[in-house]
Each structure stands twice: as structure tokens, then as C-alpha cells.
Structure 1
């Protein structure tokens, strides 16, 4: 069966994004929180966000608390922060596939892609 994973890289400091709070939501048929986790020292979660029978076709949302992470690192940020909550919406169409959703983030930008 498939799985959903993520990885956060702090591009401002050139290191994994450790200690970032992440929330996962299913959007179908209505928005419902499925998980609330924190990244480990490698910027990853200790286990897949969803795996096997938990992974279903549909629309999902990941919310990364990037602003709180950068504030905790002692960066002097404007209030409100330019990049605060990073919200990524995506779809899963194959429950047998591995969906990896990396986030590259700094206080002023972010990017993502479907990883492997």
C-alpha cells in the first residue's frame, strides 16, 4: 500500500527544519484534522503521515507552522511574519503510490514539489 511523507528544509540556515509543527487535514467531504506532528532533527516525521489503509484518494492539506519555527530560532521577523503558516493543498489519486511532499522554506519564501 501507499504512504504520505514530508520533509522540511530550512533554506535560510541550510539545515533540516527541526521542531516544526505540522497539521494534516482531509478536505473531502469536509475539512477534518487527521494528524498533528512535529518534525524530528532531520526535518522529517518519525512515521508516515498516512500509510496503508489510512491513505485514501482525495484532497488533503498540510499546514506547516514556519513563522513560529523561525521566531523560535531567534530571527527578528516583522509582525506579522511574511511567511507564517504555509498551507499546501494537494490530491492523492493512487493509494498504492508514495506521495512525498517536501517543503523548502525561509522567512520570505517557500517552494514544494512532489518528491520521491
Structure 2
């Protein structure tokens, strides 16, 4: 059974990013269809996969990580407007039974991602 999961690490503070709003959209041409909206828990993860079972499908997707809200929540020094506010990651799912894990490593000034397991 395929699934999509994520987690966020705050590399500037060396900890999981708790309380980050994440939105998942399915992309079809120039249209965006909402799939899920979740918040990260104390481990920087969502409590359940973003897609699994009957909701999991192939296609092109976009994750929006609302990191500006997260950094503002504890008074991190940010520019005005913040250099990174919403981080988009566009990716495709090709394996209908695959495990796709899309983590975000983030600071107020940089981010990186990869396909994890």
C-alpha cells in the first residue's frame, strides 16, 4: 500500500519543527486541488500520512510548508517580509505502491529536501 509522509527539521535550532501548517495539493495542468492540510506534532511529523490507502495516487503534487508562521511563533529573527515564508515543493508520484517521504530541513534563510524512506 502506497503512502506519502513528511517531517520538518528546524536546522537553525537543531530540533523538530512543531506546529508547522502543511498543505498538500494535487496538480492537474494549471489547476490545484486541495488534498490535505495538517500541522506537525512535537516530532515535526504529521500524526498520519498525508495520503495512504484509497487516497494515495500517482500524479504531480505540491506541498506548501508555512515556515514563516512557525519562525514568527517563537520570535526568531526574520526580515520583513521574511526571506522564507511559504516553502513550496513540487514532486511527482510514479509508483502506486511506493512510500514517498518528502522531508524539509529549514532555517529562516535556507531549506533542502530529498526523497526519504
Partner of 1:79: 80
Q: Which whole-Å deviations, capped at 9, do the CAs of 1:24-82 have from their partners, x for residues lacking one?
A: 00002521111111000000000000001211110000000001100111112111100
Structure 1 residues without counterparts, runs of 5 or longer? none
Partner of 1:24: 24
In structure 1, what is the Cα distance between the partners aligned to 2:75 and 2:109?
15
Cα deviation, residue 108, structure 1: 0.1
SS of residue paired to 1:27: strand
Q: CA RMSD in A?
A: 0.8
Partner of 1:115: 116
The 4+ residue runs of structure 1 with deviation greater than 3 A are: none
In structure 1, what is the Cα distance between the partners aligned to 2:74 and 2:87?
17
Structure 2 residues without counterparts, runs of 5 or longer? none
Q: Output the TM-score relative to the length of structure 2.
A: 0.96
